[in-house]
Amino acid sequence: MDRLKLALDDELARANSIDGLYSAADPLQVARKFKNDPIKTLICALFAYGNARAIVKFLNSLEFDILNLDESKIYDFVIKNGWLYRFQNIVDVAQIFITMSRARELNFEYIISSNTQNGKVIYGINELIKSLYQLNNYRSSGYEFFFGKVFENEPKSPYKRYNMWLRWMVRDRDIDLGVFKSIDKSNLILPLDTHTHKVTQAIGLCDRKSYDYKAALQISNNLAIFDPNDPIKYDFALYRIGQSGALERFLERIKG
């Protein structure tokens, strides 16, 4: 584990830098433009599925200032500009922006921090999703995919996009934004995606074949061995190893 930590720390130094962030497409490149705006950064995070280049291209095509318009003007603007992305059609995107304009009445940080249970921030995320659905009666498969599903008892999904957004908003160093002060970064959960799942399985941080919340939690707990105060600092380094196709090189290094 010592060799693995040294190798991860080295990757971390490269990845968690401005140069590292801009070395390949990533939605945080767009979200950084809206550092102090939880609504705009959350939109960036929730559209962050699929190919990274396509995500960044789509996010850069959006005009986020329409959130300040009347709802009828938001709708007309989206329809006129033909905004759609993968699972979201034009009407879905219009309704998403209307919902997020209404979300100005919510305190995202308070909802999450006040509903965190026994250090598990996932319950705060669940309450935020419930609160967002209460703002708009519109429903469709694309709209619901964007906001995600509410769980009743225990989470099954890794909630990758929300956990990524929380990493941006909570971590107060490196490439992240550090806006939320009342949420402890030691409670963050790894934003598990296909890249990090594959990498962490290969390097012994995850033994779960299922791509689920339990896998994300297991990896987060194992990373806490390296840094209990800030375990998710390793997320971006792990992601870049998988995204860049450097896993074999990394495995050679930790094997010595």
pLDDT, tens digit, for every residue of 93-114? 999 999 999 999 999 999 999 9
The residues that bridge with 168 in the sheet, in sequence order, are none
Query: Comparing C-alpha atoms, which of 146, 114, 136 is closest to residue 127?
Result: 114
pTM of the model: 0.96
* CA torsion through residues 150, 42, 177, 37, sign: negative
- pLDDT at residue 34 is higher than 80: yes
What is the pLDDT averaged over residues 65-93? 98
Residue type, 255: K
Looking at every residue in the chain, the average pLDDT score rounds to 96
Q: Are residues 83 and 90 in contact, defined by beta-carbon separation less than 8 angstroms? A: yes
Residue 179 DSSP label:
-
Residue type, 35: K
Q: Cα–Cα distance between 159 and 157 in angstroms, integer? A: 5
Query: Which pLDDT score is estimated for 1?
Result: 75
Is residue 73 classed as helix, strand or coil in its secondary structure? helix
Our CA dihedral for 114, 206, 230, 237, rounded to 10 degrees, sits at -120
Q: Are residues 142 and 84 in contact, defined by beta-carbon separation less than 8 angstroms? A: no
Worst-scoring range by mean pLDDT, 3-7, 68-72, 89-93, 168-172? Answer: 3-7
Query: Comparing C-alpha atoms, which of 146, 153, 158 is closest to residue 194?
Result: 158
Query: Comparing C-alpha atoms, which of 38, 8, 4, 13 is closest to residue 182?
Result: 38
Q: Are residues 86 and 49 in contact, defined by beta-carbon separation less than 8 angstroms? A: yes
Q: Where are the domains of the chain?
A: 2-255
Q: Cα–Cα distance between 71 and 68 in angstroms, integer? A: 9
Q: Cα–Cα distance between 225 and 205 in angstroms, integer? A: 11
Tokens of 218: 């297991």
Query: Which pLDDT score is estimated for 2?
Result: 86
Q: Cα–Cα distance between 177 and 180 in angstroms, integer? A: 9
Which residue's entry shows tokens 């010595």?
256
Q: Cα–Cα distance between 169 and 37 in angstroms, integer? A: 10
201-244 tens-digit pLDDT: 999 999 999 999 999 999 999 999 999 999 999 999 999 999 99
- pLDDT at residue 140 is higher than 80: yes
Contacts of 201 (CB under 8 A, 6+ apart): 207, 209
Q: Cα–Cα distance between 216 and 74 in angstroms, integer? A: 36
Cα–Cα distances (Å) from 59 to 5, 81, 108, 113, 148, in that order, read 34, 14, 21, 28, 19
41-77 tens-digit pLDDT: 999 999 999 999 999 999 999 999 999 999 999 999 9
